[in-house]
Amino acid sequence: MEVTLLVQAADDAFRILEKARGQAVELLNTATKLTSDTRWMEEKKIQAVLMGAQKKKSGLQNFAVTFLLLFAFWALLSGKFDTFHLSLGVICSFVVALIGHDLLFANVRVGDMRVIVQRFFAYLPWHIYQIVIANFHVAYLALSPKMPISPKIMRFKTKLESDISWVTLANSITLTPGTITIDIEEGEFVVHALSEKLADDLNTGEMEDRIAHVFMEADHIYIQDVLDVARIFAEFR
Amino acid sequence: MNTFLTAIALALCLLVFLVLYRVVFGPGVFNRIAAISAIGTKTLVILIIFGFFYNRVEMFIDISMVYALLNFIGCVAAAKYLENEG
Amino acid sequence: MIIRGEDIIIRTIARVLVPFIQLYALYVIMHGHYSPGGGFQGGVILGASMVLLFITHGYAEVNRKFSENIAVLFSSIGVLIYSGIGFLCLILLGNFLDYSVLYKLLNVDPAHARSLGILGVELGVGFAVMAVMFSIFFDISTGGVLPEDEEERD
């Protein structure tokens, strides 16, 4: 009697252990799938930034805006506003816009151009102020007799989404004295900073936030990103 | 005004000579390319100051813009070449 | 062989700058009378813009806009414009490249006709120089082997 009870208890124990093992394996599978999902999402984002410049929203609007920009540039360069030179300007802008109309505005994810230009001109005074402050700091570092520099290379990923904002961030970092963008590999910025204070100023991410505000990337969520994240959230339910 | 501009032009020439050290003695070719690019940026400011001396700034601005463009394109081309076959 | 890498900074800056460089080159050609410039200088800048597009974006991107065949065509068109204007002056009973006799065709006074004639030959020179600059760079950098032939060989 006791033996059968014991055998039954062992059976039940084995069954519980089997179920536990099955659940543990399922959990591990979900975990690997989730990590590969996030990695896939990240790679897709980097690919979208690099390839976004190739997929063109080419059409009449691109061509017209390129033509107007080029004609304004021509009028700025040539100070003569008589009919002959202006008609030459129209022909030349037309030909150049015909050849290269998909070059200037190639990124489809960048938003409304007028707001971006306005916000860019509001961003410039803050940037110049940062340059002046960093200038004083680097001059103090270079002119003091024991030169307290501690150069380091830092890597960080950004939350910016289009290639123009990456390039603007890299240019802003390089223009600020003391920090230089060395490379952007696989969506990761490699920056060389001259001292701890400059590296800390960069790590706060204020420049990144302001550039995201300039290019209207902090304003709205893209539908595709929501769909990507929804797949991962569905796993938890 | 002319004395002020002359002083600035002379100071820039002095800076050009300082960078010339890296062009001559730079160990390796990357130092030399970066130094020539730096000399190019100072050269175009000196060209515009010459424009002020001769009272024909618009002519010299055209020349400076061309030199800036060619400096940029030359630096990019040299860097691309050395990246692949250096 | 120029390989297309992942350098996104140079690619973005080059694609934004190239239309402005080309417009500046055309400005230099057209204003040869009033400021330093003219045909040869503008042609060099045009060729340099195509070279910039080639080294940053690779062969495929520049092939859509300005391939090797079009370069050959443009160099011939440039020489055709130059000697065409010269022969036009001969046909109108002037000397070779004597632009003042063009005033009969264009309904302007002879001084104006000279100015327009010079503009025409500068345009021809500019086209020819652009095509030859791009051709030379392309031939030297690829060694005469097009990328598709190289891929087929591998």
- Collect all residues of chain C within an 8 Å Cβ-Cβ radius of residue A74: 23, 27
In chain B, residues with a C-beta closer than 8 Å to the C-beta of C36 are 59, 62-63
Residue C112: enclosing H or E segment and its boundaries?
helix C110-142
Cα–Cα distance between B69 and C52 in angstroms, integer?
A: 10
Q: What is the pLDDT of residues B45-79, one digit of tens each?
A: 999 999 999 988 888 998 999 999 999 999 998 98
Q: Please give the torsion angle defined by the CA atoms of residues A102, A104, A108 and A109, in that order, rounded to the nearest 10 degrees.
A: 170
Question: What pLDDT does A226 receive?
Answer: 64
Q: What is the pLDDT of residues A108-122, one digit of tens each?
A: 555 567 778 888 899
The three-state secondary structure class of A162 is coil
How much is the pLDDT for B58?
85
Task: Please indicate if any CB of chain A lies within 8 Å of the CB of C106.
Answer: no
Q: What is the pTM of this model?
A: 0.80
Residue A123 has pLDDT above 90, yes or no: yes
Tell the residue number behind the tokens 């570092």, with chain if given: A141
What distance in Å separates the CA atoms of residue A150 and residue B34, rounded to the nearest whole number?
A: 23
- Choose between A233 and B39: higher pLDDT: B39
Instruction: Give the Cα separation of C150 and C143 in Å (integer).
Output: 11
Query: Given this model, what pLDDT does residue B73 score?
Result: 92
**Mean pLDDT, rounded, of chain B:** 91
State the SS3 of A180-219: EEEEEECCEEEEEECCHHHHHHHHCCHHHHHHHHHCCCCC
Mean pLDDT of A33-61: 68
The pLDDT value recorded for residue A26 is: 84
pLDDT at C133 over 70: yes
pLDDT at C150 over 70: no
Nearest CA in chain C to A101: C19
Cβ of A103 within 8 Å of Cβ of C13? The answer is no
Distance between CA atoms of residues A212 and C71, nearest Å: 42
Q: Which residues of B touch C14 (CB under 8 A)?
A: 76
pLDDT bin (cut points 50, 70, 90) of residue B19 is very high
Taking chain B, what is the end-to-end CA distance rounded to the nearest angstrom?
A: 48
Which of B62, B69, B73 is opposite residue C37, by nearest beta carbon?
Answer: B62
B: neighbours with 3+ CB pairs under 8 Å? C
- The DSSP letter of residue C37 is -
**One-letter amino acid of C138:** F
Mutate to test the interface with A, among C21, C22, C57, C108 (most CBs of A within 10 A): C22
To the nearest whole angstrom, how far is the Cα of C104 from the nearest Cα of chain A? 19
pLDDT score of A237: 60
Q: What is the DSSP secondary-structure string of A95-157? A: HHHHHSTTTTT--TT---HHHHHHHHHHHHHHHHHHHHHHHHHHHHHHHSTT-----EEEEEE
Residue C122, token pair as written in the block:
């500068």
Set of chain B residues whose Cβ sits within 8 Å of the Cβ of C24: 65-66, 69
CA distances (Å), origin A154, targets A102, A161, A209, B17 = 35, 20, 18, 33
Rounded CA-CA distance B29/C95 in Å is 54
- Give the pLDDT confidence score for residue C1 in this predicted structure: 47
How many angstroms separate the CA of residue C129 from the nearest CA in chain B?
16
**3-class DSSP state of A179:** strand
Report whether pLDDT(C27) > 90: yes
What lies within 8 Å, CB to CB, of A168 at 6+ separation is A211, A214, A215
The rounded distance, in Å, linking the Cα atoms of B47 and B62 is: 10
How distant, in Å, are the alpha carbons of A88, A91, A161, C125 from that of A94? Answer: 10, 5, 32, 21
Span A136-157, average pLDDT: 90
Q: Rounded distance, CA C50 to CA B77, Å?
A: 12
Higher pLDDT, A201 or C42: C42
Q: How does residue A106 score in pLDDT terms, banded at 50, 70 and 90?
A: low
Q: Mutating which of A66, A82, A95, A99 best tests the C interface, going by the most C Cβ atoms within 10 A?
A: A99
C-beta separation of C74 from C82 below 8 A = no
Interface check for B3 against chain C (CB to CB < 8 A): the answer is no
With contact defined as 3+ CB pairs under 8 Å, the chains touching A are C
In this predicted model, what pLDDT tens digit does every residue of C50-109 receive, in sequence order?
A: 999 998 888 888 888 888 889 999 999 999 999 999 998 888 888 888 888 888 887 888
